[in-house]
Amino acid sequence: MKINAVRGCTVFGRGIVVENTSHWGGGRAEWVWRCAHRMVCAARAEKWRVSIVLTTDERIRSLNREWRGIDSATDVLSFATVGDELVRPGHLPPSRSAAVFATTSAGSGGAVAWPDLGEIVISAPYVEATCDERSVESLDAALQRTIAHGLCHLLGFDHTTDRQHALMQRAERALLGGGAAKTLG
């Protein structure tokens, strides 16, 4: 699924694409890419394609209404695209591992066919507006936490129950600290 409808600043490389469709934050797309790259490597998911879209409150509200039935803006939505396979928290599906990464698409000129882990949609203006109420020390820290949260959802984590919430928080801390992937599961 490709969410972005308006072209903005796009930064990509090593399987990570960041698109700023909100035109928020000027050169923030490259900074977000660097943060995401560090976290994707910490999760040992560097052979997967991850898209991050920085969007507006209006767009994320529309997506939230469409996909979750909640008519309000939020900080982040994650859209996993690993198909019908169940993703155990912190474990990539075996059929989508390095073997898939090593293949090339027919007619791609030898380009690597990155398996698609999913898309993280972030309302950066929402994150910025809620920094104080979240008791976050800076916008950079808030964006990093939001990226980690979205990536954890793509990796199969959730926070519906207290146990799931605790596991997801541990995984987020590991991503934020660049910790070893074995601490994710």
Range of the domain at 151: 9-183
CATH number, domain with residue 67: 3.40.390.30
The predicted model scores a pTM of 0.77
Q: Please give the biggest Cα pair distance in the chain.
A: 50
Is position 4 within any domain? no
pLDDT number for residue 92: 62
CA distance 55 to 6: 9
pLDDT per residue as tens digits for the range 18-69: 888 876 666 678 888 889 999 988 888 877 888 899 999 999 999 999 988 9
Is position 118 within any domain? yes
pLDDT per residue as tens digits for the range 81-103: 765 554 555 556 554 444 333 43
Is position 145 within any domain? yes
**In this structure, what are the phi and psi dihedrals at residue 158, rounded to the nearest 5 degrees?**
-145, 175
CA distance 23 to 43: 29
Contact (Cβ atoms closer than 8 angstroms) between residue 180 and residue 42: yes
pLDDT at 179 over 50: no
Is position 57 within any domain? yes
- Number of structural domains the chain divides into: 1
